[in-house]
Chains A and B, each alone.
Chain A
Amino acid sequence: MLWASLAASIATLTLLLGLLYRPMGDYMAWVYSSAKNLKVERWAYAVMGVDPAKQQSWRAYLRAVLYFSLAGLLLLYLLQRVQQWLPYSQGGGNVEPAIAFNTAASFVANTNWQAYSGETLSYSVQLAGLTVQNFVSAATGMAVAVALIRGLAYRRSGVIGNFWVDLIRGSLRILLPISILGALVLITAGVVQNFNGFTQVHTLTGAQQLIPGGPVASQEVIKELGTNGGGFYNANSSHPFENPTGWTSLFECFLILLIPFSLPRTFGTMVGDKRQGYAILVTMAVLYLGSMAALAAFEFSGHGGAPGLAGAAMEGKETRFGLVQSVIFAATTTLTSTGAVNSMHDSYTSLGGMMQMLNMLLGEIAPGGVGSGLYGMLVIAVIAVFLAGLLVGRTPEYLGKKIGPSQMKLASLYILVMPLLVLAGVALSFGVPALKGSIVNESLANTGSHGLSEVLYAFASGANNNGSAFAGLDASTPWLTASIAVAMLLGRFIPIALVLALAGSFAAQDKIPATAGTLPTHRPLFISLTAGTAVLVTALVFFPVLALAPIAEGLM
């Protein structure tokens, strides 16, 4: 019964995404290639003082990304620090500096890790700060992916596009129209959209209850569509006002997956070989389905002390979602960089929780965050091609671009950044006595292996810009607030810098013709090689720490 309902839900998702793969992917390719600017866009460029026709070198592109993100970070920090004097403050005070910085870093890095409780931020901060970053951090990720695609498509070029144009178009032509439609769809099911504040009601037993309000639907839709994940409320997408029923849960998963699963088409179209797009799509889909099946199997089994006694792993899950919609959401949110949750991951079975961690540690490439999933997967593809080249002793190439020493250095650095941040964060947390004291006495809600899992999950989530949590961990301590903020920023912007450098080095090359010795990169061999590379890299790096945490707990 559980498996039948899972299969029917996945089939529905596959059908919807399959129908939209071509139109959505080609639409995005047109958005990023069109020579025409809309009227509102011309106005924006005039205000910003940029020439939309002028393309940028990779360095100029990167500089624009960094300055834009820095400006967004400062504004968001400032808004939180003065929120009590802004409209709709609802009596809440200003956010303290460390938490405000952590939150600003988190939303600018497309992570949406929440060291604060959703209910403590005012409506003004939510809409002028968080909602805006939900749009633009997503548009930034997409822009970087498109810049890498251009690098692969261009020949002997010193430029890779214009960041301002990619940012504005991604926001206004892709994210905004889908968000308006999606928000209305969510409101029909009961997602709230108002500025009412709390409504006090007298319950049937005569007690008083506060019913929260807020502009929720507008933020909910972009939080999923932009793979952001920061909940309007503390309970995120498990809150009935964010996710009222079974179909909204699947619809929110659809919104999460729409852009990441369509971008391979954009890639195929823009490099002029649609089969390349299908190969990347299939690689993503295989990993997505495999991981989903494993998570479902662990969760349905209900192994462990509490789930076994209760009869099913229902702690931290909503009745209307049951095990099936909870598992689909959990796999979807951790395999993308979303981090929204419709069930509490901390209370999953030990091995179910391990799958969520593995999904993030895979680098979020199946299908990954908007833009970041595609560029992450293309980096893995570069490494797979290189490994294949080593085996047959030929200079590797991808789409007619040589993978030389400088490209391999950039790709290798890319895949080392995230593990370094995760493992260093965990090691410092337990290796330095003062930090360990803070973790054990102030942060952990659970002891033993599960405590290690909570900290590992936190750094995996931060460094991969996911944002979901084993939420029993109190991450508002000085150490975790600071270290996770740093992990989020470095985990976002170092890979972006490396990808743009890679894009620049590809763009500068000419295209070399394919020969009999070239590995075809649209066949099953390449697909299995790429998927295998992704899994192998993760397994080698993270097996030891996983063995100490969720695996040890799962064997109990």
Chain B
Amino acid sequence: MKFFSSSSSRTALAAVRAVAVLTLVLGLGYTTLVTGLGQLLLPAQANGSLITNEQSTTVGSALIGQAFTDKLGNPLPQYFQTRPSAAGEGYDGAASSGSNLGPQNPELIEQIAQRKKSIAEFNKVPEAQVPADAVTASASGLDPQISVQYAQIQQERVAAARGLDIAKVRALVEKYTKAPDLGFLGEPVVQVLELNLALDQLQRG
């Protein structure tokens, strides 16, 4: 076997130089090019699809979910609630994560039972009407959306808490419901941050 012959050192040198050349082209060159094009052509998306309120303050990103709770973590009735989150203490943008609890995990089963009960009480609906997304943590912990069913069981509570006509709330839910792409890719979902922002603006306006 002449595996480690004199040409080995030549090969090693070529390998080191190849890594240097490719780091330059594929690491720096490619990333710079794509960043430049993205910032030039699609700056809003490339910078995180940020949303501002009427005072032009940035209140979040259309793609990143938020918690709508008070300081103690209790849900605020005037806001549509997002899903349970395993990202940090909940919707932590610096710690995306799912719960990673298995399908037979007793802790998870207990959590789901409790969430089901409290969500049913909070919205004054039977437990059977609470949909699966309302009682389960998402994969990222930053899910910005909820199912249409979860929005529907919340709309009367939100209308009552804000003293708004239920029809107006329903219309807004419909407005911020996004159909699946091309009709079949993904699920119909409700954009919670945009919906809640629109509700705030409706009342202030």
Contacts and interface: CB of A to CB of B under 8 A. Distances in A.
Interface stretch (B106-114, B152-160, B163-171): B106-114
A241 B48 contact: yes
B130 to A, nearest CB: 8
A49 B7 CA distance: 12
Contacts of B112: 306, 309-310, 315
A320 B136 contact: no
B184 to A, nearest CB: 4
11 contacts: A49-B13, A193-B39, A194-B39, A209-B66, A234-B95, A241-B48, A306-B102, A317-B136, A319-B143, A344-B99, A347-B103
A450 B70 CA distance: 36
Contact of B48 (A63, A194, A325, A553): A194
A187 B102 contact: no
Interface in A222-256: 233-235, 238-241, 244-247, 249-250
Interface residues of A, number: 124
Given A305-B109, A347-B99, A164 B14 contact: yes
B109 A131 contact: no
Contact of A245 (B3, B70, B71, B181): B181
Nearest to A307: B103
Nearest to A451: B102
Given A187-B42, A218-B31, A316 B100 contact: yes
Contacts of A118: 96
A349 B103 contact: yes
With most chain B CB atoms within 10 A of its CB, the pick from A128, A215, A315, A353 is A315
Interface string B5-18: 00110111111111
B125 interface: no
Interface of B: 2-3, 7-8, 10-23, 25-28, 30-31, 33-35, 37-39, 41-42, 45-50, 57-71, 76, 79, 83, 87, 91-105, 108-109, 112-113, 116, 130-133, 135-147, 180-182, 184-187, 189, 193, 196-197, 200
A234 B185 contact: no
Given A194-B39, A204-B68, A314-B133, A136 B34 contact: no
Nearest to B70: A205
Given A71-B16, A72-B19, A325-B185, A176 B139 contact: no
A210 B98 contact: no
A510 interface: no
Closest 3 CB pairs of A and B: A246-B186, A238-B139, A472-B100
A60 B47 CA distance: 46
A132 interface: yes
A64 B10 CA distance: 10
A211 B64 contact: yes
A146 B136 CA distance: 46
B185 A132 contact: no
B95 A119 contact: yes
B145 A5 contact: no
A49 B10 contact: yes
Given A211-B60, A347-B98, A128 B28 contact: yes
A455 interface: no
Nearest to A471: B100
A27 B187 CA distance: 36
A325 B62 CA distance: 21
A171 B22 contact: yes
Given A132-B23, A205-B67, A71 B15 contact: yes
A189 B14 contact: no
A59 B71 CA distance: 65
Contacts of B28: 127-128
A43 B147 CA distance: 55
B22 A135 contact: yes
A212 interface: yes
Interface string A451-478: 0011000000000000000111000000
Interface in A162-194: 164, 167-168, 171-172, 176, 179-180, 183-184, 187-194
Given A8-B184, A176-B30, A201-B60, A343 B105 contact: no
Contacts of A40: 25
A235 B98 contact: yes
Contact of B186 (A194, A235, A322, A449): A322
Contacts of B184: 4-5, 8-9
Contacts of A238: 96, 98, 138-140
A209 B93 contact: yes
Contact of B144 (A75, A240, A324): A240
A315 B185 contact: no
Given A207-B67, A471-B100, A184 B181 contact: no
B18 A210 contact: no
Interface in A49-102: 49-50, 59-60, 63-64, 67-68, 70-72, 75
B46 to A, nearest CB: 4
A136 B26 contact: yes
A325 B2 CA distance: 51
